[in-house]
Every structure is written in structure tokens, then in C-alpha cells.
Chains A and B, each alone.
Chain A
Amino acid sequence: MTGPRAARLRFAWAFVRHQLRRRFRTPPAATAEEVVTTYAQDHLRPLTPFERERLPAMSRCINCGLCALVVRRVGQVRLPDLASAYLRDLTLLPAAGADLKGGDPGPDALAAAAAICPVGVPLDEVAAAVRRLAAPEHAGVAGHAETAEPGG
């Protein structure tokens, strides 16, 4: 039997079985760590609550290049590219982390660069978030054992 009616019948039977199963054998509740561990190989890392709150501001970059007049690079990365290229496909950051190695201008210099940004991108926060998400050893649930605030 196929078609919508059969689909509804099969689904109804599955629902009855599900209810009975949960009545007699409720499995222990899963944790966020289980999700993160399951998908660690796919680099699906959660944002921290701080990063989540600040992401809209970190996303305003219009690639005007003014910040590069204050700080040219973070590691080998041209500063405007941090927000407009690196803080985009977050799953690639662990593989692309090598680009960030080398010169670290430090939070003060980045804050100075942020001060002249015409759209107010918090570049120090962008750099901290990119570094955290690129770090190979950080695969835990965000916002608990670690921080992504600048200089944290």
C-alpha cells in the first residue's frame, strides 16, 4: 500500500510504538557535549554566548580597508579579511588556522583599528573569535570552559 493514506497509517503506528517505548524505557537525556562530540570531525563547533551576541556587529564589515591602515595583518591574514573572509565558513577555520600563526598585533592595536572602522566592527572581538574557532584543541561546548572575549 502506498500513497498519503498509507503514509499516515504507518506514521500513526510508529507514533504508538514511540509512546509505548518511552512509557516503559525512557532513555537518559542527551547533552550538548554528545552533539559536539558526534560532529567534532565535521568541525561543527558551537559559538559562545558572547560570540553569538556580538556576531551581528562582527558581520558589518564592508571591506573598505581603512582598518589595514592601523594594523596590516594578524598572522599572515590581511586585517579586513578576518571579518570578511575568515569569520564566514566557520567549519574551515580549524584547517585554515595556520594562516593566523605569526605576528599578533595584540588587543590594543586591534581595538585602535576598530576605532576607525566606519561601521563599527569590533576587530579585537573578531580576531578572538577566529582564533578560538581555529584552534584545533578547542572542541568543547562553547561558553563554559572557554571564553572568546578579546584577550581572553
Chain B
Amino acid sequence: MTDGTAPSSHDAIVIGGGVTGAGVARDLALRGLSVLLLEKGDWGGGTSGASTWMVHGGPRYLEFDWDTTVLSTEDAGNIVRIARHMVHRCVVLVPVMPEDGLGIERLETAMEVYDRYQPRKESRPHIRLTGEEARRVEPGLAPGVVAAVTLDEWGVDPHRLAWANVLDAVRSGAQAFNHCRVESLLRDGSAIAGVRYRAADGQRVEARARIVVNAAGPWAPQVAAMAGAEVRLRPAKGIHIVYDRRLSNFAISAEAVDGRDVILVPHGGVTFLGTTDDDHYGDLDALEVTPDEVDYLLQAAERVFPSIRAHRPVRATAGVRATLFDWRPRADRLSRRFEVIDHEREDRVPGLVTVAGGKLSLYRLMAERTADAVCARLRHRARCVTGSRPLPGASGVAPPVRELAAEHGISTLAATRILARHGSEAPEVLDDPRRGRLACRCEVVTEAELVHAARHEQVRTLADAFRRLGLAAGPCAGTSCVERAAEVIGHELGWSPSQVREAARDYVTGSWRGRAPVLDRWGWAQEELAYGARRGWPGGL
């Protein structure tokens, strides 16, 4: 793989390395086209990573957007099958309070309809419970809960899902570079003929292509504007509060003060509480979590899960949904449908195709339809195989946990974590003498994994390692691991000692922005410990 600093020529260039852009690159590469994928930040680091991490059909859309629910369940099933090692079952308890607008009968109606589509994604039908039985499943539910239903969905880490798509694209012949920002589009007469981008090392590079795909999510209007074309979105900001562990093995749905649904949902070793859904007019690259947004979520959750304020949040996330423009509906009632826009037809700008709208659960289908449009323009006939071809790590047979642990001399917890991240490719990751040394004790990340990530997974910063491996995602928020992790990654990437220190400092200050809005007193105790540990750093924090 090159480093993206040489001029190049391709059939297609894809702008945007969220899960959709990565999916488009994978699809096109598997159809035999030469592809360049460019991402200004890190893979899945924008809207994908700031989502609720759920692969679901969305039964709530049944009341106003039936088609999206049906399509989502269908494609969610494909994602479950091609990313088997990455997905985990996520069972939601949907409690009903006496004063809820959505009574148990209306709720169960939605579940009965949804049950028809559940087999498409290997999910089970709902179970209706009395309030008392629901509290036996989750003792933390409020005494006022009168009934509940279960809702069987799937969860996935979108950072790893995006990376797996990138990796499969690269293995199929694509080139893919993160930290490369497209600055302008190249023209050949009226047609778009490529991009000019700033590579990770600051060099300006030109890449030419027969067609450019704009898969930049909420940034899609900005990319389209470079071509004099228009993409109309109604961006909606969503935040999540992140807790340092599973607060429950069951997700819990709650109704917010304005009637919106929010959800407390466990993923791996953390729990998300979200999301808000507000029209966003500000800078897409400078999102902040406000105290009001945090209070809104806590108020909603505490109504059905009263102990929520006693639990310890470790950070908050903020992202912007790229919802298609529509006048009037409340932001959370906007359709999650998507569009593939051929700008030659819409704006008389040949050579540019945009994919906009949609949701995580539809990413593969969005990529397929976009690749169809690209192939039609390029008169390239090839069948889409992304719905059946397993992603890296999901093909082959993964070794049993205990066998992997015993063979490599690691704990079984470390082995389970590595298998969840790398699937059947876990033994290759552990083929390193540093496999027995833990870099991050909370997330159980071995130094061997960090080395592998720096060598083979395009990890260029500690924040990239956070996204790829969960480094520093646990209770200590990096107090114990960022310095050592910076040394390990820096050794692989040829950093000087001052660059190592700078990388650690960048991570600490960057992650602070996500933690500050949600710290409680135990979080502050952690901050004091971290501050004390870093007092000896040259130049302080």
C-alpha cells in the first residue's frame, strides 16, 4: 500500500470514509473497478461513529415510513451475516408507564408488525411482560412501569465495521487513505475529472478518475458545492452520553419529555444513552455537547431507570445525521430514506454521483445502489456481491476462546475481546512477541494489537487507536495507557520522543472535550488522578 502522496488515476474516487463511503469503495472494488477512497479524518470517525451503534429496522418508523423499516430489516440481515464476529444481540426492553402516549396495545401492535420482518435479520419475536416480570428481567426499572415488550435488535461497533469495509476494499485492489482532506475537484471541461487533496503529511496531491462519488455524509453539500452542484440536507445533531460499562445486559427504551424515544443501550463494555435529534446549522467540524442536551437525556432515562444519575459517565459523543431535506416534520420524524443523485442528470455536472440520507443499518444497500449508478455511468457490467461475501474476520473459523488464550498465553477475557475485534484473523494479530503485554487494561488491548493496528490498520494517532481498538475507552479514560500506547505506536511509525509525548498530550486534551460535559464526582476523582500522573510531563498538560 502506498501512502497516498503520489498522483494517481482510477476508475472511481470515493470521498468520505464513513461506513457508507467505505461500503461504496468495497462494492466497486469487488466489481473489478480501480478505486481510491479518501477520508479527511479517520475511518468511521464522523457520523458513523457518533451513531447509536445499532443495526436495526427501526419499528418506530412503521408509523410514518414503513418502507425504510422493511428495507432496514432486510439489509440489517445482510450486515449480520457478513459481519458475524462483530455484531452482538441487543435486546431492548420497551417499558410502558401509565401516562405514556404509546400504550401497551399500540406498542404491541408495532411489535407484531415488526415481528414479520424480524426473521430477515435473525431476530426473535417480541415478548410481552407485565411490569412485575419486566422488573425481574431488569431490577432497575421504575416501580411505575406497568408493562414492557422485548425488541430483538443487533449492535455493532461502526468504527470496526467501517474499517472492515475499507480493508476488504483494499484487499480487492482499492487504495484507501485516511487523514486526507479533499480540497477541490478537478475538471475536464464541464465534467468532474478527479480531486485535489491534502495528504496526511501536508502534501497536495492530484488524483484523476472517470467518476467521483460524494459519500461525505453531512459534508456532502460542501463537496457538491465544489462542483457547483446542490445537495439539500436537513442535518440533525445527535449526542450520546457514554457510561464506562454495561449498566444492564438489556437495553432500555425511554420516552423523553417531548415524546421522543431515547435509548440506554449496552455495547461491548460501555453503555450509550441517546440520542438527541435537533436541527443543526453550525460548524460540522466543531460540535459541542451542551449541559441542556445531557440533562434532556438523563431526565428521559431516569423516568424508567431511576438510578441513572448514580452511574458514572465517561464521555459524550456528538454527530450530525445527514437526513434528506424536508420542510415541516420534527427532526426525529424525518424519513431515514436515502437518495443516489447523479449530478449529470440533476445539475448537468457529469462525473459526480452523491449518496445522501439513510442510516447505519442501510449502509450496505446504499453502497450497492451507489455502485449500481457508478457502473451504469461507466458502462461496467458486474454483479454486487457485498450482501453475501463475509467481511474480513467473518470468513473462516475463529479458534475457540480458551484455545486462543492458552496458545498465546493471554487471559480468556483478552482472547474474547480480540476475537470480537478481529474474528478469524485474531491468531495473525497475536503473532507478535508483545501479545502477552496489555497496553490498555480496561479494554484489554494487547501491545501486539497496537503494533498490528499501526502496521496494518492505518492507525496514525491515539484517537485512531481509540476508534480501531477501544484504547482508553474504559473507566480510567487513558490514565494508565496513553503514554505507553504512544510509545508502542510511535515506535512503529518512527516518531521521535517529543512526537510520542505530543501524541499523548493531543489525545488527553482532545478526549477532555468529550468528557467535560458529563463528569460526575467519580469522574472528577479520575481526572485528579490523571492530572497527578501527568504532572511530570515536560511542559505539563
Please list the residues of chain A having a beta carbon within 8 angstroms of any beta carbon in chain B: 2, 4, 6-8, 10-11, 14-15, 18-19, 22, 27, 29-32, 34-36, 38-39, 42-49, 52-53, 55-56, 59-64, 76-78, 80-81, 83-92, 95-99, 118-119, 141-144
Contact of B525 among A55, A89, A119 (CB under 8 A): A119
A-B contact pairs, 30 of them (CB 8 A): A7-B65, A7-B66, A7-B67, A10-B66, A14-B112, A18-B108, A31-B136, A35-B91, A43-B249, A44-B91, A46-B139, A55-B307, A55-B311, A56-B310, A59-B245, A60-B522, A62-B525, A63-B441, A78-B441, A83-B475, A84-B475, A85-B269, A85-B444, A88-B244, A91-B246, A92-B417, A96-B401, A96-B412, A98-B405, A119-B522
Also in contact, A7 and B106, with CB within 8 A (given A39-B91, A46-B249, A63-B475): no
Contact of B413 among A22, A56, A99 (CB under 8 A): A99
Also in contact, A92 and B244, with CB within 8 A (given A7-B65, A19-B105, A46-B139): no
User: CA separation between A69 and B216, bound complex, in Å?
Assistant: 51
CB of A30 to closest CB in B, whole Å? 5
Contact of B130 among A29, A63, A76 (CB under 8 A): A29
Q: Are A88 and B130 in contact (CB under 8 A)?
A: no
Which residues does chain A contribute within 8 Å of B479, judged by CB atoms? 62-63
Contact of A8 among B63, B109, B311, B525 (CB under 8 A): B63
Which residues does chain B contribute within 8 Å of A6, judged by CB atoms? 66
- Interface bin, chain B: 35 or more
Q: Are A85 and B139 in contact (CB under 8 A)?
A: no
User: CA separation between A32 and B131, bound complex, in Å?
Assistant: 10
Which A residue sits closest to B67, measured CB to CB? A2
Q: Are A35 and B150 in contact (CB under 8 A)?
A: yes
Contact of B64 among A4, A59, A97 (CB under 8 A): A4
Which B residue sits closest to A81, measured CB to CB? B441
Q: Are A32 and B129 in contact (CB under 8 A)?
A: yes
Central interface residue in A27, A36, A64, by most chain B CB within 10 Å:
A64
Q: Are A7 and B64 in contact (CB under 8 A)?
A: yes
User: CA separation between A24 and B20, bound complex, in Å?
Assistant: 47
User: CA separation between A78 and B441, bound complex, in Å?
Assistant: 10
CB of B447 to closest CB in A, whole Å? 16
Q: Are A32 and B137 in contact (CB under 8 A)?
A: yes
User: CA separation between A59 and B124, bound complex, in Å?
Assistant: 32
CB of A143 to closest CB in B, whole Å? 6
Q: Are A90 and B442 in contact (CB under 8 A)?
A: no
Which residues does chain A contribute within 8 Å of B417, judged by CB atoms? 92
User: CA separation between A47 and B140, bound complex, in Å?
Assistant: 9
Which A residue sits closest to B150, measured CB to CB? A35
Also in contact, A96 and B130, with CB within 8 A (given A46-B138, A64-B529, A88-B474): no
User: CA separation between A34 and B140, bound complex, in Å?
Assistant: 19
Asked if B402 is at the interface (CB within 8 A of a chain A CB), the reply is yes
